[in-house]
Amino acid sequence: MHGMPEGHTLHRLAREHRAALAGAPVVVSSPQGRFAAGAARLDGAVLDDVESHGKHLFYRWDNGELLHVHLGLVGTFTTHASTAPPPSPAARLRMAGERVTIDLAGAMIVELVDPAHAEAVRSRLGPDPLRRRRGDRGRFGDNLRRRAAPIGAVLLDQSAVAGIGNVYRAEALFATGIHPDRPARSLDDDEVSALWGTLSSLLRAGVRDGRIVTVAPADVGVRSRARIPDAERVYVYRRGGAACRRCDAPLRAWTLAGRTITACEACQAPRA
Ligand SMILES: [Zn+2]
């Protein structure tokens, strides 16, 4: 599926990069040159940890530096085995460890930040359903109660909840039977809890599977998640006009917050 990566992809990248590079010195360079000064400050440092928050990545180094990355729409990491080919001229960042070399091209943000800046970035982000922080479900509920905008728009607002993109917003609203046009503040406590729980479990499944699969195997006639064909792995996303997998009603697609959303208005009844 195309478009900006959603939170599960960033969480997997953080995990993979931590496993591949943390705990040893990393040779850091900027083949393309735009990050040359930053790369020079990281070169030879030991990577301590990598964390994702929503769609942002933070790399913490033993010399006190903090690297902030946001992929944007076209940013891509490429991981090479220990004998990496010469970097592409488009690679803004290359991190070479003992076992793997990781190149980054096309990212929207590649910058060294001080802890205060990192904290400012993170304080503007809503709770991330992948982070299992105490109190985050309550913060999510508070953020919804403050917003009169449609819930389908608020789920894409990274300051309300971090890491949700166009696929998970449509699928989570379908799974919880919530109409995308309902004002966020009209959701009752049970709906808020169900939505938070669904976002958490869908994103966790995405981290596990490495792809977005939201359908239950039985709903597409197979026995296991691994057997779900790529073309049938979602309930509503990009299925406007097709039949609902649950009730056979035709799915409706419309534009909400600048992106196409699809819903089943039988399963997701509009209500006050
Ligand atoms: Zn339906």
Catalytic residue check, 259? yes
Tens of pLDDT, residues 194-234: 999 999 999 999 999 999 999 999 999 999 988 999 999 99
Q: Measured in angstroms, how far is the CA atom of residue 248 from the centroid of ligand 1?
A: 6
pLDDT of residue 132: 82
Distance in Å, CA 246 to ligand 1 centroid: 5
Say if residue 82's pLDDT is above 90: no
Which one of 31, 55, 127, 182 is the catalytic residue?
55
Burial (CB count within 10 angstroms: exposed 0-12, middle 13-18, buried 19+), residue 18? middle
Average pLDDT over residues 65-77: 95
Contact 63, 25 (CB under 8 A): no
Could you say which of 16, 60, 259, 265 is catalytic?
259
Task: Please tell me the distance between residue 265's alpha carbon and the centre of ligand 1 in angstroms.
Answer: 7
In the residue annotation, 5 being an active-site residue is answered as: yes
Residues 267 and 272: their CA atoms lie apart, in Å, by: 15
Distance between Cα 189 and ligand 1 center (Å): 23
Q: How far is CA 217 from the centre of its chain?
A: 23
Could you report the per-residue pLDDT of 144-195, keeping only the tens digit for each? 999 999 999 999 999 999 999 999 999 999 999 999 999 999 999 999 999 9
- Which residue bears the tokens 């196409």? 260
**How far from chain centre, in Å, is Cα 47?**
23
Residue 5 has pLDDT above 90, yes or no: no
pLDDT value for 63: 97
Residue type, 168: Y
Q: How far is the CA of 229 from the centre of ligand 1 (A)?
A: 20
| Radius of gyration in angstroms for the set of CA atoms belonging to the chain, rounded to a whole number | 20
Task: Output the CA 127–ligand 1 centroid distance in Å.
Answer: 29
* 26 touches 96 (CB < 8 A): yes
pLDDT at 145: 97
Whether 252 is a known active-site residue: answer no
Q: What is the DSSP string of 1-38?
A: --SS--HHHHHHHHHHHHHHHTTSB-EEE-TTSTTHHH
Residue 131 bears catalytic tag: no
